[in-house]
Amino acid sequence: MPCRAQMGPARPWGERGMALIAVLWIVAALSIMVMGLTQTVKQGIRAATMQRDLTEGQALGQAAIALALQQLAVQTTPVTGVGQIGVNYAGVNIMVTAAPLNGWIALNGATAPMLAALLQTAGGLDAARAQQMADDIVTWRDGVPQVDLTAAAVSSGDRRRRFDAVEDLMLVPGMDYDLYTRIAPLVTASVTGSGPVNAQAAPPAVVQALGGNTALIAPSGAGTGNLFRLEAAIPLSTGKILHLTQDAVLLRQGSSTVAPWRILRERARIDATASA
């Protein structure tokens, strides 16, 4: 007689159901993993694109500011106020705004009354607290640091502490980050003058912070010197605007450096609003 294939015992329906559930769980887990990897790749692409945009924008901005500085270096008339210089570089139209740095409040020379006005109006402190904070800033600035001084400072006889950057405000006792962020855009560590602010070069926020006090604001624009703040607005491919700001000093003719200027500081920020 013909042999019949030997069949194993049928698996109970309960076991089949558990196996099906296990397969579905595995499929779901794999789907979640794939979705997570896809999202990670997308985020990586976005981050790389933003970094590329920032790098290209900074390069364009630095070139545009260099061209604007060339124009300032050969200009025969003194620059007393805010000016705009249009630059076309690599096929991109870039507007550079240039202004003498004495339009900002000098951390290394401002008087206590000027700092108190700034801290009260722009910083949001009450009059007593603003005056105390201003005195603390002056005390910190004019104090003798408990560290070895540089040879240049010792040879010049200036043993006082100085603000090397605006961020040094955070070293002043009592200064918190929220207060710092409110006043940082209105001050500079690149100039040392103790005179009034140049109204022709000052941003509106600086004039407002000083309350229109004629003892603190000079309308003539005199004494601008050779220190400038330049800001380039660079359109990015994402539709946003990169604002690159450089503080620069124009050097005397005959300087041994390659360029007739020196960059003191640079800051960059991206405007979150789309360009028009």
**Residues 178-235: tens digit of each pLDDT:** 999 999 999 999 887 778 889 889 999 999 988 878 788 887 665 557 899 999 999 8
At residue 101, φ and ψ (nearest 5 deg) are: -70, -10
Res. 255 pLDDT band, cuts 50 70 90:
low
142: CATH: 1.10.40.60
Q: Which residue is it, tokens 């794939």?
A: 34
Average pLDDT over residues 5-33: 70
The reply to whether 175 falls in a domain is yes
Phi-psi region of 225 (alpha: psi -120 to 50; beta: other; left: phi over 0): left
The reply to whether 76 falls in a domain is no
The reply to whether 66 falls in a domain is no
Look at the chain and report how many structural domains it folds into: 1
Nearest to 235 by CA among 47, 53, 51, 85: 53
Judged against a pLDDT cut of 50, whether residue 276 lies above it is answered with: no
The reply to whether 173 falls in a domain is yes
Res. 175 pLDDT band, cuts 50 70 90:
very high
Give me the percent of the chain exceeding a pLDDT of 70: 80
- pLDDT score, position 132: 96
The reply to whether 149 falls in a domain is yes
- pLDDT score, position 6: 54
- pLDDT score, position 150: 53
Nearest to 198 by CA among 214, 217, 212: 217
- pLDDT score, position 24: 79
The reply to whether 39 falls in a domain is no
Judged against a pLDDT cut of 50, whether residue 30 lies above it is answered with: yes
Name the residue range of residue 178's domain.
105-190
